Amino acid sequence: MHGWIALCGAVALTLSPGARAEDRWISAWGTAQQLAPMPPPRLPPRPAGEARPAPPPPATPSPILPTPERLQDQTVRMVIRPTIKGSVWRVQFSNATGGEPLRIGRATIAKSAQAGAIRADTSRALSFAGQAGVTIQPGAVVFSDPVALDVAALELLAVSIHLPDDVAVNTLHPLGLRTSYVAKGDRTGDAALPGADTNRSYFWLSGLAVQADAKAGTIVAFGDSITDGYGTTPDAGRAWPELLAERLQGDVRTRHLSVINMGISGNRVRRDGAGLSALARFDRDVLARPGVRWVILLEGINDINFAAIPGIPASEAVTADDLIAAYSQFIDRAHLHGIKVMGGTIAPTEGTWLYSEKTEALRQAVNQWIRSSGKFDALVDFDAVLRDPARPTRLNPAYDPGDNVHPNDAGNVAMARAIDLVRFRRD
């Protein structure tokens, strides 16, 4: 009798709707949410009479614009760019760092038009377990029900959410690099939002999944501000992960692969700061994303530079062995999930106020391990691509927007071109 029950259970699982071959999803777009605002490094009290060097003023304006601290009875419209084509979608929202429940009264997805407008004939209402709205508890993630819309790869979409309650804005991605729009009332179905306030952040919106066949898969670009696209032109899609997606879609042999950008400006590998540490968020931003086949890992310069801040506690110190151990964890954890890892070398930063012989020696030691350890499944030598041939400890002037650390549009083009697509054609 027990054997018959077990057999019936096995048959039921085999025939379960969740096991249907066509019910397979991959990530088509994504962003890494963090706590807002970003906390500054914690420094010990300064002894009386002791001066602490102040950081120099920014060499270039920050692309991160101010965001409202709270929203109430307002619609937020956010523009996204899926990196693979599809016809059935699910939108992901996260309240990962929220201190209170978030209620979305209504939400829509549509093809984007100019200046916050949408193509009204493409607008689709989102539902959640059949309901028009959803409440997301602190720390939770929700996906919408599937919604049908034929979308080409790299075609701009707009996701609109209405927030009926007074809610603190404390889960967002500050450096969205695409203009977002905030308007009074429920405007989720409106074709245009005249008079809306603007910024460049993603509010609670963390992913877009697409129904795909068995061949399709996702590449996660996992890193800090250089991956996030800090030095690139807003509303232009010039960050290297987007440029990589363009290359993949331009080659018939790799059009089955999408790219999602999981960079967080200011993020560190081992310690929290701008968002959770990379080690802490790896599960959420990589392993939990549907359909991941590869990770391109480029992170570590903030660990090196933050540890050099004058007056920083000794507990913030980092060694090459510390970073190497962390990289090994990323690789091992990815491999446990059948995910391959491409290691990216760290680009030079001479000219920044924290640069020194010590930070440079640490960067060189880490890069040597990335190149020679054999632990990674593939390598992209971003350092070799971005450095100045005449002075390898600094960025190539052609790629430097003026801050000596974040590659500009041309630098991001060089980074995307340096990635060997042959490695992805084999999967």
d(CA 108, CA 158): 8
Please report, rounded to a whole number, the percentage of residues in the chain having pLDDT higher than 70: 89
- Containing structural domain, residue 242: 214-425
As a whole number, mean pLDDT of residues 258-264 equals 98
**156 and 229 share one domain:** no
Pair of tokens at residue 70: 């709270």
d(CA 72, CA 111): 25
pLDDT digits (tens, 9 = 90+) for 301-347: 999 999 999 988 888 999 999 999 999 999 999 999 999 999 999 99
DSSP letter assigned to residue 347 = P
**156 and 220 share one domain:** no
* Final residue in a domain of this structure, among 175, 192, 207: 207
Mean pLDDT value across the chain: 91
Angle, alpha carbons 284-242-377 (nearest 5°): 60
**195 and 223 share one domain:** no
**12 within a domain of the structure (yes/no):** no
**196 and 250 share one domain:** no
Report which residue type is found at 66: P
**14 within a domain of the structure (yes/no):** no
**2 within a domain of the structure (yes/no):** no
Cβ contacts of 224 within 8 Å, gap of 6 or more? 263, 264, 265, 266, 267, 268, 298, 299, 301, 302
**188 and 337 share one domain:** no
**19 within a domain of the structure (yes/no):** no
Report which residue type is found at 184: K
* Final residue in a domain of this structure, among 156, 182, 207: 207
**152 and 238 share one domain:** no
Using an 8 Å Cβ cutoff, are 419 and 248 in contact? Answer: no
**203 and 320 share one domain:** no
Using an 8 Å Cβ cutoff, are 344 and 297 in contact? Answer: yes
d(CA 403, CA 54): 16
Asked whether the predicted pLDDT for residue 13 surpasses 70, the reply is no
pTM across the whole model: 0.91
CATH of the domain at 334: 3.40.50.1110
Pair of tokens at residue 77: 């419209």
pLDDT digits (tens, 9 = 90+) for 16-39: 344 454 689 999 999 999 865 444
pLDDT digits (tens, 9 = 90+) for 163-216: 999 999 989 999 999 999 999 999 999 999 999 999 999 999 999 999 999 999
Residue (of 247, 239, 327) closest to 279 by Cα position:
327
**51 within a domain of the structure (yes/no):** no
Residue 62's pLDDT is what?
A: 87
Starting at the edge strand found earlier in the chain, the sheet holding 202-203 runs 34-35, 171-173, 202-203
**150 and 73 share one domain:** yes
d(CA 353, CA 369): 26
* Final residue in a domain of this structure, among 207, 242, 275: 207
d(CA 60, CA 177): 16
d(CA 287, CA 327): 15
